Amino acid sequence: MNIGEKFKNSKTVFSVEFFPPKTEEGARQILRTAKKLKELSPDYASITYGAGGSTRERTLEYGELLRDIFDFEIMPHLTCFGHSREDIEAILCRFESSGFENIMALRGDPPKGSSEFVPHPNGFKHANELVAYIRSRFPRFGIGCAGYPEKHPEAVSIDADIDNLKRKVDAGADFIVTQMFFENSHFFNFVEKCRAAGIDKPVIAGILPALSLKQVMNFKSMCSTEIPDALLKKLGEASESDGAKVGLDWAMAQIEELKSKKVPGIHLYILNRAESAVRLSHVIRGK
Ligand SMILES: Cc1cc2nc3c(=O)[nH]c(=O)nc-3n(C[C@H](O)[C@H](O)[C@H](O)COP(=O)(O)OP(=O)(O)OC[C@H]3O[C@@H](n4cnc5c(N)ncnc54)[C@H](O)[C@@H]3O)c2cc1C
């Protein structure tokens, strides 16, 4: 089913994001987590595509595994980086023949070490081109795209970034999943601006239950996400083992407020860990 349909229901859609593991221990971890999350029946789960197209095979392999063994509705991510149109066509054919019905369409980031996104000479420069391609060649796919409540780091302004987001929606994206944020007002302002710009698709709040001060500082430098002083202080004062509890409480408060404002969906960046997701799923589902 097109995941976009799920947001038409009045209940908050609960989704989680996995990444394909690179090690044997990582493989055991994702399976342990999937087993625990299966009982929560998330409305869907997405699986990332590695920077620089580095997990092409593993995105498919783990996407199939999570779907076939644990019965998750899986949305694989796909990025443009390093791919020609022919590559993209071949990957989409494989996703389609494997039975996936939704794609998260992204431009992608360059691999570690290079700072600039250089499109493939016969590929796509921006995600709106990928969305348009999927919509015209694989019209049955539901399509998700990325939104940035605090603007994409390369964008000159939030308004310019929202104009570019509208290009993705106009090209055929069915819903928007946001970058993580720790301050809800950024999300609410973003949704307001989207609506003013004529973007009428569901905007799904991306929430990361933080684990430690070091981790959030990494995300701050990668994604330019604001870390509120109160969260910084609490994480700074927490012992190594208490960081996850601080992050969980913070995410819980965020989710309660988001739910009170009737967000259509909450997407948890679980980093292949189950503990916080289990607790947060109860808040999202109101149980
Ligand atoms: C929910 C989510 C999931 C993600 N999953 C992955 C993943 O699995 N793998 C991965 O490698 N990365 C992933 N990313 C990161 C993402 O690839 C990067 O943020 C990337 O830098 C931008 O991707 P995009 O699809 O938003 O690109 P775009 O929409 O192309 O935007 C990139 C920049 O270009 C500008 N822009 C967009 N369209 C145009 C246009 N037509 N003309 C001029 N400027 C334009 C935008 O304003 C923005 O500054 C994810 C991000 C999010 C929020």
Distance 127 CA to ligand 1 centre (A): 6
Cβ partners under 8 Å of residue 45, min gap 6 = 15, 16, 17, 18, 37, 66, 72, 73, 74, 75
Mean pLDDT of 195-215: 97
Q: What is the pLDDT of residues 239-261, one digit of tens each?
A: 988 999 999 999 999 999 999 99
Q: What is the pLDDT of residues 89-122, one digit of tens each?
A: 999 999 999 999 999 999 998 777 777 888 999 9
The one catalytic residue in 5, 17, 57, 64 is 17
pLDDT-based confidence at 5, cuts 50/70/90? very high
Q: Give the residues surrounding ligand 1 with Cβ less than 6 Å away.
A: 48-49, 51, 77, 79, 106-109, 126-128, 146, 152, 154-155, 161, 164, 167-168, 177, 179, 206
User: What pLDDT shows up at residue 287?
Assistant: 75
Task: Give the residue, by CA position, lying nearest to ligand 1 atom 44.
Answer: 164
Mean pLDDT of 4-12: 93
Distance 35 CA to ligand 1 centre (A): 31
Q: Domain 3-285 is in which class?
A: alpha beta
- Catalytic-residue membership of 17: yes
User: What pLDDT shows up at residue 53?
Assistant: 58
Task: Give the residue, by CA position, lying nearest to ligand 1 atom 30.
Answer: 126
Strand (E) or helix (H) holding 259: helix 243-260
Distance 103 CA to ligand 1 centre (A): 14
User: What pLDDT shows up at residue 109?
Assistant: 86
Spatial separation of the C-alpha atoms in residues 240 and 246, rounded to whole Å: 11
Mean pLDDT of 138-150: 98
**Inter-axis angle of helices 229-237 and 243-260, nearest 10:** 150
User: What pLDDT shows up at residue 52?
Assistant: 63
User: What pLDDT shows up at residue 110?
Assistant: 78
pLDDT-based confidence at 217, cuts 50/70/90? very high
Does 54 score more than 90 pLDDT?
no
Spatial separation of the C-alpha atoms in residues 77 and 92, rounded to whole Å: 11
Mean pLDDT of 13-24: 96
Residue whose entry in the numeric block shows the structure tokens 């808040």 = 283
Residue among 46, 91, 102, 106 to mutate when testing ligand 1 (max atoms within 8 A of CB): 106
**Inter-axis angle of helices 213-223 and 229-237, nearest 10:** 150
Does 211 score more than 70 pLDDT?
yes
CB atoms within 10 A of CB 155: 15
Nearest alpha-carbon partner for 280 in 20, 17, 66: 17
Does 9 score more than 90 pLDDT?
no
The top-scoring range by mean pLDDT among 10-14, 55-59, 126-130, 221-225 is: 126-130
> With pLDDT > 90 as the criterion, what percentage of the chain qualifies?
89
Distance 107 CA to ligand 1 centre (A): 5
